Amino acid sequence: MSDNIDNDDDIFTGKEHTPLRPDAFALSADEKVEKIEKLFGEIMHTLGLDMADDSLKDSPKRVAKMYVKEIFGGLLPENKPAVSTFDNHYKYRQMLVERDITVYSFCEHHFLPIIGRAHVAYISNGTVIGLSKINRIVDYYAKRPQVQERLTMQIVQAMKEALGTADVACIIEAKHLCVNCRGIKDTASSTTTAELSGLFRSNPISRQEFLHYVGAHTKIE
C-alpha cells in the first residue's frame, strides 16, 4: 500500500476496499431488510425448521435487521463516522497509541465471527483526532464481511485521510471462528496482521516503539 494520502471520499474503491457491485446502494436499508427476511426464511425452511413455531417465526426478520443495521452496518455509507480533527496546540510530537480496541467482524468466506483487538497509532503532523473517533473508525470497517488483512489496511487508510499524515499504524489480533469452530477446529490459534505506514514503516525506532507499546498485549484471550 502506498504511503501517499488518498483524498478520494469514495470509500469503496481501491485495492484495500470492500468489493461491492455498482448497484450496491440501489435498495434502501429497509428494502434490504425486507428482501433478506424472505430469503433467510427460505433458508430456514430448507433446513427443515418449523417456521410456524413461536420461537422461530420471527427469526428471519431478526436476522435481516441484524445483518443490515447492525453487524454489516459498515456497508451503509451513511454510517461512516464523521471524524473531527483539532489543531495540535500543545505541540505533542510523539506517537499516540490507542490500544485494545474491540474488534467484532465477520469472515466473508463463511460469515462466521472474527473477534479480537486492534492497536492503532499515529504521529501528529499538526492535527489530532478525538480518541473515541479511532474506535468508531475500527468499528465501522469491522462491520462488513471482511478479511483481516483488508480490515487492517482500511483502518490505516481512513486514519491517514482524516489526519492528513502517512504516519499511521495498525495491528489486529483476532480469532476466526471459521478456523475455531469448523474445518480444522483449532480453538487455540489466532491471527495477527499489521499495516505500517510512513515513519512506522521507514523508521526502525518508531516501529520498535509502537511494537513495544503493544507487545505486552499480544495474546488473544
**Which entry of 119, 154, 157, 176 is annotated as an active-site residue?**
176
3-state SS string over the chain? CCCCCCCCCCCCCCCCCCCCCCCCCCCCHHHHHHHHHHHHHHHHHHCCCCCCCCCCCCHHHHHHHHHHHHHCHHHCHHHCCCCCEEECCCCCCCEEEEEEEEEEEEECCCCCEEEEEEEEEEECCCEEECHHHHHHHHHHHHCCEECHHHHHHHHHHHHHHHHCCCCEEEEEEEEEHHHHCCCCCCCCCCEEEEEECCHHHHCHHHHHHHHHHHHCCCCCC
**Which entry of 107, 154, 173, 195 is annotated as an active-site residue?**
107
- Told to judge if 110 belongs to the known catalytic residues of this protein, a careful annotator would answer yes
- Told to judge if 157 belongs to the known catalytic residues of this protein, a careful annotator would answer no
- Told to judge if 170 belongs to the known catalytic residues of this protein, a careful annotator would answer no
**Which entry of 45, 109, 212, 217 is annotated as an active-site residue?**
109
**Which entry of 108, 149, 161, 209 is annotated as an active-site residue?**
108
Three cell numbers written together for 108: 466473508
**Which entry of 16, 98, 119, 148 is annotated as an active-site residue?**
148
- Told to judge if 119 belongs to the known catalytic residues of this protein, a careful annotator would answer no
**Which entry of 157, 173, 178, 195 is annotated as an active-site residue?**
178
- Told to judge if 217 belongs to the known catalytic residues of this protein, a careful annotator would answer no
- Told to judge if 221 belongs to the known catalytic residues of this protein, a careful annotator would answer no
**Which entry of 17, 34, 110, 181 is annotated as an active-site residue?**
110
- Told to judge if 108 belongs to the known catalytic residues of this protein, a careful annotator would answer yes
- Positions marked active-site: 107-110, 148, 176, 178
